[in-house]
Chains A and B, each alone.
Chain A
Amino acid sequence: MTTNVSHGEHHHSHHFDSAEHEYSSDKEGLWLFMVTEILMFGGLFVAYAIFHSIYPEMFSEGASHLDWRMGFINTLVLITSSLTMALGIFYNQQNQPKKAFWNLIATILLGCCFLVIKYLEYSGKFHHGIYPGRFLDMAVVNPVHQNLGLYFGLYFCMTGLHGIHVVIGMSLIGWVAVRTYKGHFNSHYYTPVEGVGIFWHIVDLIWIFLFPLLYLVG
């Protein structure tokens, strides 16, 4: 992913024929990377599905400990952030860097909002003795299902790995926001914004599945 920039005009790297050639190569690289993200999270979803089929009651008991309203609000937050991210690209395509910049900033703020809600949720869980796996406080939680810790092991792994991706995504958006502000992008060259956008949408995409699977179906 090359970033040869001078005076607002993008020059493609020497080993590509044209800017268009470079753009399509960059895009393909990005999609390949997204496949690896999908497969990595996919492993967790497979573990979820298998243990759900073995212990359905444990999963509904686990879900009953979660507040679906928190997950619901966070879903709306992330969907909105996906919209502002898409608009961040849209306004770069329209040669309106100011609007693009503010949309990217809004995306970062929504990401912060998501993390704050996540923090409240986590600390609430810890407060009630809900820790992953072996550390689940049996005396405080008093679970019906002996292996309830496994449900929360999965819960913390899935939302934790997702949270790490939110943080990475926010820093990447910060990077392209600065570059947008400096006027590095225009309707002919905005590949980094689009790449970061695709990453952020993947983060949203995974949450779209996490919300019903963890909070509602259980």
Chain B
Amino acid sequence: MGTAAHGSNSNVNYLNEFKGIKSWLLSLDHKRIGLMYMISILTFFFVGGIMALLIRYELFAPGKQLLSPDQYNQVMTYHGAMMVFMVIVPGIPAILGNFFLPLQIGAADVAFPKLNLASWYVFMFGAAIAISTFFSTKVDTGWTFYTPYSIKTGTAVVAMVLAAFVMGMSSILTGLNFIVTVHKLRAPGMTMFKVPLFVWAIYSTAILQVIATPVLAITLLLLAAERLFGVGVFDPALGGDPVLFQHFFWFYSHPAVYIMILPAMGIVSELISAFSHKVIFGYKAIAYSSLGIAAVSFIVWGHHMFVSGQSEIAGVLFSFLTMLVGVPTAIKMFNWLATLYRGSVTFYSPMLYALGFLFLFAIGGVTGIMLASMGVDVHFHDTYFVVAHFHYVMVGGTLMALMGGFYYWFPKMFGKMVDDRLARMTFVLIFIGFNVTFFPQFILGAMGMPRRYFDYIAPYESLNKISTMGSWLIASGFLLSLYAMIKALKSGEKAPSNPWGAKTLEWQTSSPPPHFNFDKKPTVTGGPYDY
């Protein structure tokens, strides 16, 4: 697509042009900031993953294995809060979005580089507060901080809530930066309908980040004020309404689900087109459906509250509106499938992850439709069916795409090739492990096993055993990934500038790219997938 000069001196790149820890911590380069996010978020992912293994280990058999009931509640809270606020929400936008959004639109940087660096510091500050609560009175509310329990429990809710507030601020600043970048910094000739679909996805996500997060901010501030000053807004004893907390909370947290999944869909669009060696089917439909999902996500939040004491009329309306999400999502699905049709498909590891995404996300999405039906949800609510559903979307969807994105862009980011045989093995382990872990949870939920409980009755035991063993498979898959990537960094083959033969702009600069991305500002004439 269009013309762009290759790196004239391939030995100088963004990684080695400046040296020393200060050149990283004060770097305004979006690529370096992306890597800083990558290191911090992967660390949090590691910790959150250990929490997950602890939860599964505790549930290996009825009764106490390792954790006391209180410790179990705490571990479950930290697993949820860390994975949501510190891994999946910032994950793809802050790491891959930071790195590749400017590259894909042919810009030298994001619109506000200083703000970008500040976002990382704000994020780390929030994360530090969150982690510090673990060393005081641990939080045990679950990641949703539902009132009135979160007002009454004697744990460090205020600190945790402020941590989420601060990380939310970082999320807002990142989103704001990306919106302006997409509006103002596209290369000459690159109209909005010539930007890659990953950019459309990150752009839609950024809108959600800017619009939804402030409501979370005020909700969390009110909750903190509730605990500190007893203001009463969410406290039924003072005339307040705890269900209002849920309205406010889900006004953010439902769009947040799409903050998590939309960027993943963007990656999948890139991968499917690149490894089918074919122009994406229905470019405009996919682009608009990203915006469509973002818009619909604001009018469906009440489906989290069917059994919370919300009125029946509101429940029916939300149930109906939620079905609308299926439309733009299905549009994307069918377009990806149509892209595969008659493409010359190659099954490198990123493509395997993309296909894994299609499979797992389809299951996650269809069970989502089941849960959106109010009558069915009354039965399934707060059971393992819901746990399985959102892990299929969040892990089977977002993490699969994130892994696919890592393997796809690793050569560009570090200039080294990953051993693809190893990478494909990680996919097999994670994919099988994931299904072994979470598919039994659908059955457990249908059998009535409630979520978030420390213990269960004997009939649930065998399926829980299978689920726990699956979690070990997933863990080994991620550890193998870590090994594969470290090995590639140390002794990987040198990557050419375009190892996959993809067409988007980031592949037209050298691997790794120079400090200002392109030696000569690219001019765009064609579409992003002109195979």
Contact = CB atoms under 8 A, between A and B. Distances in A.
B111 interface: yes
Given A15-B185, A154-B231, A39 B180 contact: no
B218 A133 contact: no
Contacts of B185: 15-16, 25
Interface in B214-235: 214-215, 217-219, 221-222, 225-226, 229-233, 235
A1 B177 CA distance: 10
A161 B114 contact: no
A13 B184 CA distance: 14
B233 A153 contact: yes
B183 interface: yes
Interface stretch (B153-161, B238-246, B374-382): B238-246
B239 A157 contact: no
A133 to B, nearest CB: 4
Interface string A125-159: 00000011111000000000011011001101100
Contacts of B177: 29
Given A21-B184, A150-B240, A43 B248 contact: yes
A37 interface: yes
Given A36-B210, A161-B221, A25 B231 contact: no
Most buried by B among A28, A33, A40: A40
A16 B211 CA distance: 26
A132 B218 contact: no
B115 interface: yes
Contact of A153 (B108, B218, B232): B232
Interface residues of A, number: 44
Contacts of A133: 226, 229-232, 235, 238
B140 interface: no
B239 A55 contact: yes
A132 B180 contact: no
Contacts of A43: 214-215, 218-219, 222, 248
A14 B516 contact: yes
B112 to A, nearest CB: 6
B109 interface: yes
Contacts of A134: 230, 232, 235, 237-238
Interface string A31-45: 011011111111110
Contact of B229 (A21, A35, A135): A135
A45 to B, nearest CB: 10
B176 A29 contact: yes
Nearest to A48: B233
A140 B225 CA distance: 23
Interface in B167-196: 172, 176-177, 179-180, 183-185
Interface string B50-85: 000000000000000000000000000000000000
Nearest to B209: A36
Contact of A47 (B111, B176, B233): B233
A2 interface: yes
Interface residues of B, number: 42
A14 B231 contact: no
A25 B184 contact: yes
Given A15-B108, A25-B111, A134-B238, A40 B231 contact: no
A150 B232 CA distance: 5
Given A29-B176, A29-B177, A44-B218, A150 B112 contact: no
Nearest to B251: A43
Interface in A1-38: 1-2, 13-16, 21, 24-26, 28-29, 32-33, 35-38
Nearest to A55: B239
B186 to A, nearest CB: 12
A50 interface: yes
Contacts of B230: 132-135, 149, 153
B239 A146 contact: yes
Please indicate which of the listed interface residues B108, B112, B179, B232 has the most CB atoms of chain A within 10 Å of its own CB: B232
24 contacts: A1-B115, A2-B112, A14-B109, A15-B109, A15-B516, A25-B183, A25-B184, A28-B184, A29-B176, A32-B176, A35-B214, A36-B176, A36-B210, A36-B217, A43-B215, A43-B222, A44-B218, A132-B231, A133-B229, A133-B238, A135-B230, A150-B231, A156-B231, A157-B233
Interface of B: 107-109, 111-115, 172, 176-177, 179-180, 183-185, 210-211, 213-215, 217-219, 221-222, 225-226, 229-233, 235, 237-241, 244, 248, 516
Interface of A: 1-2, 13-16, 21, 24-26, 28-29, 32-33, 35-44, 46-47, 50-51, 55, 58, 131-135, 146-147, 149-150, 153-154, 156-157, 161
Given A146-B239, A150-B239, 7 more contacts: A25-B184, A26-B112, A47-B233, A51-B240, A134-B237, A150-B231, A156-B231
